[in-house]
Structure 1
Amino acid sequence: MPKETYTKLPKTFEEQVQLLKKRGLVIPNEKKAERILTYISYNRLSNYWYPMLKQPKEEEIFKEGSSFETIFKLYQFDSELRAITFQAIEQIEIAVRTQIIYHFSHHYNSGFWYEQSKAFSKFPSFVQFLNKITKNVQDTKQEYILKYHRKYEQFLPPSWKSFELLTFTNLLSILKNIKDNKELIPIAKSLGIHHSLLISWLDSFIYIRNITAHHGRLWNIILTIKPEWMKSPKGDWVNVWENNYNPAGHSLERVDEKDKILKFYAVLCSILYCLQFINPYNKYKDRFMQLIEKYPEVDLYHMGFPENWKEQPLWK
């Protein structure tokens, strides 16, 4: 089918409200809706009303009873969910950084272990990482690095100083390039997982963290970077982390584990699981429960929650 030329013209905020009404959306307070659209774009909000559209969704006609107020509540819920999730993943990032520094510094008996190519499996990746950390040290204005340079002759500081300048993605790149996978065992153990799951889980945490940092949507997303299922938990866990959501319409029993549709619930469970070991007194679960109580309009099914999720050991 040949592509068509985009010809839609920009609409005023008032025109946007009238268009939504024409498509069947209930808008009790049009002026309030205009104010909201003034500061939250039509396109951004459309991500939250997509499940409310009738089939075929391309016609953009709302199901009966769909309300602008519900859409805005979903948006507010998602905004607060991003905030508490960012804080939760921050704890995991700091813990992983600490474990990497501690384990490898002791394993090689040196704070400068990361300068040894023998520790890494791919030399080009090692060089790329070394260039990254060199640039970070060169560009930083952090006083503790400047103080180090005034006293010591080596340009690159030991890992317990220089690694504070690395992002979560940089840390993961180290783990992906470690020559001996057995070296991942103590780091994975600190999170309560098998070392074969470490890269997968951290990858999914970074994926979600990046969404939260760039004000993306967590509600109703389908994970494009998915954690691998854990078969032998060391702490409280769940027996399933997906519901029967499947856009292809196939029975889940016929779908391979790697092809199953995972939504935010899967990563939420993974974060909660790791926090059991990192910080048993964390408030992430409590804050999430307070959120869903504050926003009863939120349909947890669209986040991947199964029916009996509250009965799972992780949630009790």
Structure 2
Amino acid sequence: MPTPNTAKPFLPYSEQLALLKKRGLIVPDETYALAVLKKTNYYRLSAYSLTLRKDDVFYENVAFDDIMELYNFDSEFRKLICEYTGYVEISARAYIAYFHSQKYGPLGYLDTTKFDSEWKHAYFMDKLNTYLERSKDAFVIHHREDRNRVYPLWVAIEVATFDMVSKLYKNLLPNDRAAIAKKYYGISSRECIENWLQCAVVARNVAAHGGRFYNRVGLNPAVKLSPKHQKEFSGTRPFGYVYAIYKLLPEDRKLSMLNDISKLFRKHPFALPKHLGFPENWQELIIE
């Protein structure tokens, strides 16, 4: 780690703006630019200029508003990711709860033999019980006080986080994972569903914490893709994660996701799809 005498010096807002101008950025409205810098970390904002400069020198005619256009695009892109991963989370809860309860009964999820790993099941149950005890939701209080803390899976799973739901699916018995993958997602690969759910969780976390998608590389884990798709787009770029989210969506949400993303690119033409890993024929690829 850098020592204090090697760290970059602190710069007041006015000097941050002066540095941007020195590097060739056009700033027509300095009052506006300073207001943005005051509420947005300089380092965070500068990340959106990476495609607009080389070696810390801005390309000709690049303005502060161009950076803000990318920043605002990314903000709206995050909202879409949050919205559609929300649909993925809700449906995954429903699928798992219905399938498992139908096969093993409403309390079958308490039986460790109905899961792949005993210790992973124990860890899940420990977290789940903590959330159930803390919950102030009326449906949980009802089962806590009037049902002697007996929670059917379709009740208990509603307090689980998206990450917990993803890990719950991954710890189901292999045949159960495969059955859910086929019945609800229409594919035979349980490994894909495991991976895609994990990627959807990561995408949700990036979006929820204000992380950057534009010009981002190296998302982890890589989205599991067919050999054909591996040649057409990257599983570690934002489009790969969009692909995974789309594949997990209920059928009645898929078209709206495609339309919303298309509208967003039309609204912000300065934001280039290639900087999120979107191929030119991304809509055709995603619906294959």
Normalising by structure 1, we get a TM-score of 0.83
Structure 1 contact 126–177 (Cα < 8 Å) conserved? yes
C-alpha offsets along residues 227-286 of structure 1, whole Å, 9 cap, x if unaligned?
Answer: 101469xxxxx79642xxxxxxxxxxxxxxxxx6631111212323333x4425652221
Structure 1 contact 96–187 (Cα < 8 Å) conserved? no
Q: Do residues 185 (structure 1) and 159 (structure 2) align?
A: no
**How big is the shift at 1:191?**
2.1
- The runs of 4+ residues in structure 1 deviating greater than 6 Å are none
Q: What residue number does 1:145 align with?
A: 140
**How big is the shift at 1:309?**
3.1
| Ranges in structure 1 where 5+ consecutive residues have no aligned partner | 233-237, 243-259
SS in 1 for 2:185: coil
SS in 2 for 1:225: coil
Aligned AA for 1:140?
S
Question: Structure 1 pair 187/230, CA: closer, same or farther in 2 (3 Å)?
Answer: farther
Equivalent position to 1:168, from 146, 162, 183: 162
Question: Structure 1 pair 102/122, CA: closer, same or farther in 2 (3 Å)?
Answer: same
Structure 1 contact 241–262 (Cα < 8 Å) conserved? no
RMSD: 2.3
Question: Structure 1 pair 195/121, CA: closer, same or farther in 2 (3 Å)?
Answer: closer
Q: What are the equivalent positions in structure 2 for 1:201-216 lying under 5 Å apart?
A: 201-216=196-211
Structure 2 contact 27–33 (Cα < 8 Å) conserved? yes
Aligned AA for 2:52?
M
SS in 2 for 1:298: coil
Structure 1 contact 93–168 (Cα < 8 Å) conserved? yes
Q: What are the equivalent positions in structure 2 for 1:28-39 lying under 5 Å apart?
A: 28-39=28-39
Q: What residue number does 2:25 align with?
A: 25
SS in 1 for 2:58: coil
Equivalent position to 1:118, from 113, 116, 123: 113
Question: Structure 1 pair 192/6, CA: closer, same or farther in 2 (3 Å)?
Answer: farther
| Ranges in structure 2 where 5+ consecutive residues have no aligned partner | none
Q: Do residues 267 (structure 1) and 267 (structure 2) align?
A: no
Q: What residue number does 1:41 align with?
A: 41
Q: What residue number does 1:5 align with?
A: 5
Question: Structure 1 pair 148/217, CA: closer, same or farther in 2 (3 Å)?
Answer: same
Q: What are the equivalent positions in structure 2 for 1:1-316 lying under 5 Å apart?
A: 5-54=5-54, 57=55, 60-108=56-104, 110-153=105-148, 155-178=149-172, 180-189=173-182, 190-193=184-187, 194-222=189-217, 223-230=219-226, 241-242=232-233, 262-275=236-249, 277-280=250-253, 282-309=255-282, 312=284, 314=286
- The CA distance in 2 between the partners of 1:9 and 1:314, in whole Å, is 46
Structure 2 contact 224–235 (Cα < 8 Å) conserved? no
C-alpha offsets along residues 108-161 of structure 1, whole Å, 9 cap, x if unaligned?
Answer: 1x11111101012322222111111111111111111111223223x2411111
SS in 2 for 1:219: coil
Question: Structure 1 pair 200/112, CA: closer, same or farther in 2 (3 Å)?
Answer: same
SS in 1 for 2:239: helix
C-alpha offsets along residues 176-200 of structure 1, whole Å, 9 cap, x if unaligned?
Answer: 222x311112322312332221111
Normalising by structure 2, we get a TM-score of 0.90
Structure 1 contact 137–156 (Cα < 8 Å) conserved? no
Calculate percent identity across the aligned residue pairs. Answer: 27
Structure 1 contact 172–202 (Cα < 8 Å) conserved? yes
Structure 2 contact 85–245 (Cα < 8 Å) conserved? yes
Structure 1 contact 95–278 (Cα < 8 Å) conserved? no
- The CA distance in 2 between the partners of 1:92 and 1:124, in whole Å, is 26
Question: Structure 1 pair 281/124, CA: closer, same or farther in 2 (3 Å)?
Answer: closer
Aligned AA for 1:229?
L
Aligned residues, how many? Answer: 284
Q: What residue number does 1:255 align with?
A: none
- The CA distance in 2 between the partners of 1:6 and 1:204, in whole Å, is 37
SS in 2 for 1:283: helix
C-alpha offsets along residues 77-128 of structure 1, whole Å, 9 cap, x if unaligned?
Answer: 00011111111111111111001001111111x1111110101232222211
Structure 1 contact 241–265 (Cα < 8 Å) conserved? no
Question: Structure 1 pair 221/114, CA: closer, same or farther in 2 (3 Å)?
Answer: same
SS in 1 for 2:133: helix
